[in-house]
Structure 1
Amino acid sequence: MNEVQVTRSFLKNPLSSLIILLAIVVLIEFLSWNIAYEAKLNLVNREGGLSAYITVLVRSLIIPEITTALIIAALLNLFHRLFKITHVKLNWTSLVRYELSFLPVLLLAYLIFSPITQTVRFLLEAYPDYTLTTYWTGYIQNSFWLAIYLRYLLPVCIIGYLLLNISLLIDLQKSGRASAMASL
Structure 2
Amino acid sequence: MKPFFLPSLNQKNASEPIKVPLTLKTIQRFWLMAFLLGIVCGFRIINIYITNFEFKKAVATRYGGWDVLAFMEIMGGVVPELVTLYGLQKLLLFYHRLIPIRSVQLTPFGVVRYYLSLLPVLLAVFFIISPFTQTVRYFLEIPIKHGFDALNFNDYVNAYLIGPYRRPKIVATYLLMIPFLGYCMVSISLVRDFFVWRDQQKKPQTGEEQLKAGSDYASSLTVQSNQGQTALRCSEVALITSDSPNCLVHHPQGTYKLCHKTLTEVEATLDPELFFRVNRGGLVNRAFVNGYVHVGNNNYIVNLKPPFQHQTVSLSRTRLSEFRHWLQFAIPHPVPQSEQVL
Pick from 111, 130, 141: which aligns with 2:162?
A: 141
Q: CA deviation at 1:3?
A: 2.2
Pick from 70, 78, 81: which aligns with 1:65?
A: 81
Higher relative contact order (CA 8 A, sep 6+): 1
Q: Distance in 2 between matches of 1:146 and 1:32?
A: 20
Q: Distance in 1 between matches of 2:33 and 2:127?
A: 19
User: Which one-letter code corresponds to 2:171 in the other structure?
Assistant: Y
Question: What SS is found at the alignment partner of 2:203?
Answer: helix
Q: Distance in 1 between matches of 2:179 and 2:110?
A: 20
Pick from 95, 111, 117: which aligns with 2:133?
A: 117
Between structures 1 and 2, the one with greater strand share: 2
Aligned twin of 2:181: 159
- Asked if structure 2 preserves the Cα contact closer than 8 Å seen for 1:73 and 1:163, the reply is no
Between 155-164 and 29-38, the greater mean CA deviation after superposition: 29-38
Q: CA deviation at 1:124?
A: 0.9
Question: What SS is found at the alignment partner of 2:31?
Answer: helix
Q: Distance in 1 between matches of 2:166 and 2:195?
A: 42
Between structures 1 and 2, the one with greater helix share: 1
- Asked if structure 2 preserves the Cα contact closer than 8 Å seen for 1:118 and 1:140, the reply is yes
User: Which one-letter code corresponds to 1:31 in the other structure?
Assistant: N
Question: Is residue 105 of structure 1 aligned with residue 121 of structure 2?
Answer: yes
TM-score between the two structures when normalised by the length of structure 1: 0.91
Q: What is the CA deviation profile of residues 128-147 of structure 1, one whole-angstrom value per residue up to 9, with x for unaligned ones? A: 23321121122112021150
Question: Is residue 96 of structure 1 aligned with residue 112 of structure 2?
Answer: yes
Aligned twin of 1:150: 172
Between 111-120 and 129-138, the greater mean CA deviation after superposition: 129-138
Aligned length: 184
Q: Distance in 1 between matches of 2:20 and 2:135?
A: 39
Moved over 4 A (4+): none
Give the number of the structure whose alpha-carbon radius of gyration is greater: 2
Question: Is residue 169 of structure 1 aligned with residue 185 of structure 2?
Answer: no
Pick from 79, 83, 87: which aligns with 2:99?
A: 83
Aligned twin of 2:153: 132
Aligned twin of 1:27: 43
The 3 A distance-change label for structure 1 pair 176 and 137 is: same
Give the gaps of 5 or more residues in structure 2: 1-16, 207-342
Q: Distance in 1 between matches of 2:102 and 2:177?
A: 27
Aligned twin of 2:65: 49
* CA root-mean-square deviation: 1.9
Between 85-94 and 165-174, the greater mean CA deviation after superposition: 165-174
Give the gaps of 5 or more residues in structure 1: none
Q: Distance in 1 between matches of 2:201 and 2:62?
A: 58
Q: CA deviation at 1:30?
A: 2.2
Between 24-33 and 12-21, the greater mean CA deviation after superposition: 24-33
Between 29-38 and 118-127, the greater mean CA deviation after superposition: 29-38
Q: Distance in 2 between matches of 1:42 and 1:13?
A: 39
Aligned twin of 2:335: none
